[in-house]
A and B are shown apart, each in its own frame.
Chain A
């Protein structure tokens, strides 16, 4: 008994040692990617802002607590100017970070979980299940999902009710989360399925099958760990898309004016006619944030993808 116990701890220790070494190698390789590191720094700043915007600019200003003149250009009192209600743009933008990032995060989780499960099941089970799931995936790939999202949003709002709330996010925004998840999982599913197909052919899956592991266990214990790198990279890239889509959906009026994301702020700016008035300060801060965050996620995602899933390119 003791012998087994000892060997088991040593195996575990060995496994940890290997994992640690892998992690070190990963950090070393990733830190060599300048674009990835820059992206990561940008994201770190935004993560900090998103976690505690109140720490920097106080609580979110409303029409009644607005501190400035209406549509006032940047000044020493309001370094980013004010909106048409006299709210401080810096205040709005930093609080917008919290909303945009949270929605992006939740939508990413839904998208990736949905996409990964469909991809793994389709790839591993194969046959008719695979054919059916892939037809569905292709259908969603071709569909203009954005327009579908516009139609789905009111339906879902109707279904979950306007009073619903989740981690401080109101129903309207939850709808955006769900809609993004429902309409953007297809790419992830496709990518993961093709990886699963190649993993499936490898020895250890057969070995697991021979010793009598069921498909569920094989998928969880053997297939999943081998596609997890892909899922990680895909998650980061999906985050970029989710923030992008959220901004767009909010911009065309699906957002919540009481929980303004960057897209919602831009929607308000458009509604006020800020571009035609030349009120650049109303547009520049949220727009710059959206671009920076999407860009940063894309950079990090691409770097991760290169480091974690090196494509074997051989030349004689």
Chain B
């Protein structure tokens, strides 16, 4: 996808835009501070998005017994997931906090290896055997999933948190019919008889736009887009509280990508899905998500409403990420490349993990871990934005002045392309 997210964010879809701003206003205050609020139903409805009550009301299957329906849908605090390797411990996720509300779509973005997939898979601990969640809280409707053992967690998998994997070709079992695979969780997790489960699976196929009789096909007999649709139908099988999309469009060609994103978007409004979308494709986030979480080297760099973050990226990493993205409108011959490579997470640098690659690094950056501070609903972890500041960067003489080409403040709407001086 070669659409600039900033253009999308500033697109002329004014209605949706307005709706988002409304919602953002509601949600801005709890971007970091968790509270029992799920937004003012009236305002949310006005914004065209189903509110928590409505979403919960639609669900056909009971919520977990221990669920506190007044608690936020998902609240992750200081999550830490480590991988044990022969050569050391990889701190793949190291202190990540975020929150997801009913009906909301959160995008998690970052370079490969930044821990975005690990973060998502940590929610129900679908990790490889050498990885463990070593700390933090994962409160799903007030239930801390970190405290659950494997057997208890199993009950939350798919019924509460389902996943649309990347590359449905491999994620679907090659020797079983698609409709059977969709019906399987309905039959085995919800205890429906096989016939009813299959009937429900066919309904789901219809919902995602697959002709019902195609469900009898095997995965290899379907096209890539169809397989991804089937994967989505499977994820919806148990009416889960949260659907995670793990790069759901990465393996597809551009046209099909667009169709799948449209499908997700329409399912979201139809069913009031609460969605976590993992991608390295900023345009996908711009199109689909309400809020975005930018991750770097296992930590949160910046988090906030999509429009705000894409319009006025605060963290230098977010700025670099956005400017390294090709812009279809600007006639750019050069793309910004972020110099250097992400740190080795076995021995991460002290202080800010982006400091070694950052054009604005100050002495403090390589010593002290930047605290997360919130301005206007945007949470950012960077020493440029001290907690007592006003959300504007402190003025410093950049250490690596020659590389400091990215504007720190919002560029004018029709900013000329940024050229990297030779």
Contacts and interface: CB of A to CB of B under 8 A. Distances in A.
| Direct A–B contact present (CB less than 8 angstroms) | yes
Interface of A: 315-316
Interface of B: 117, 128, 166
Nearest to B112: A316
3 contacts: A315-B128, A316-B117, A316-B166
Nearest to A32: B86
Contacts of A315: 128
In the A-B complex, the 3 residue pairs with the closest CB atoms = A315-B128, A316-B117, A316-B166
A316 B166 CA distance: 10
Nearest to B246: A316
A315 B117 CA distance: 11
Nearest to A316: B117
B131 to A, nearest CB: 10
A316 B83 CA distance: 13
A219 to B, nearest CB: 35
A315 B171 CA distance: 12
A315 B83 CA distance: 12
Contacts of B128: 315
Contacts of A316: 117, 166
**Chain B contact residues, majority secondary structure:** loop
A20 B418 CA distance: 50
A285 B166 CA distance: 57
B117 to A, nearest CB: 6
Contacts of B166: 316
A316 B92 CA distance: 13
B314 to A, nearest CB: 30
B85 to A, nearest CB: 13
A217 B91 CA distance: 48
A45 to B, nearest CB: 31
B208 to A, nearest CB: 24
A93 to B, nearest CB: 42
Nearest to A315: B128
Nearest to B127: A315
A25 B328 CA distance: 49
Contacts of B117: 316
A316 B121 CA distance: 11
B114 to A, nearest CB: 13
Nearest to B167: A316
B127 to A, nearest CB: 10
B92 to A, nearest CB: 11
A316 B251 CA distance: 14
A174 to B, nearest CB: 48
A30 to B, nearest CB: 15
B87 to A, nearest CB: 13
Nearest to B166: A316
A315 B128 CA distance: 8
B116 to A, nearest CB: 11
A311 B166 CA distance: 23
A315 B129 CA distance: 11
B75 to A, nearest CB: 25
A316 B128 CA distance: 9
A105 to B, nearest CB: 36
A29 to B, nearest CB: 10
B268 to A, nearest CB: 25
B18 to A, nearest CB: 38
A193 B219 CA distance: 31
B159 to A, nearest CB: 23
A133 to B, nearest CB: 31
B120 to A, nearest CB: 11
A167 to B, nearest CB: 45
A278 B359 CA distance: 85
B334 to A, nearest CB: 29
Nearest to B130: A315
A316 B114 CA distance: 12
A168 B287 CA distance: 81
A315 B246 CA distance: 14
A106 B110 CA distance: 58
A316 B117 CA distance: 8
B369 to A, nearest CB: 27
A316 B170 CA distance: 12
Nearest to B86: A32
A156 B128 CA distance: 56
Nearest to B131: A315
A316 B115 CA distance: 11
A315 B166 CA distance: 12
B60 to A, nearest CB: 31
A19 B384 CA distance: 50
B112 to A, nearest CB: 10
B349 to A, nearest CB: 25
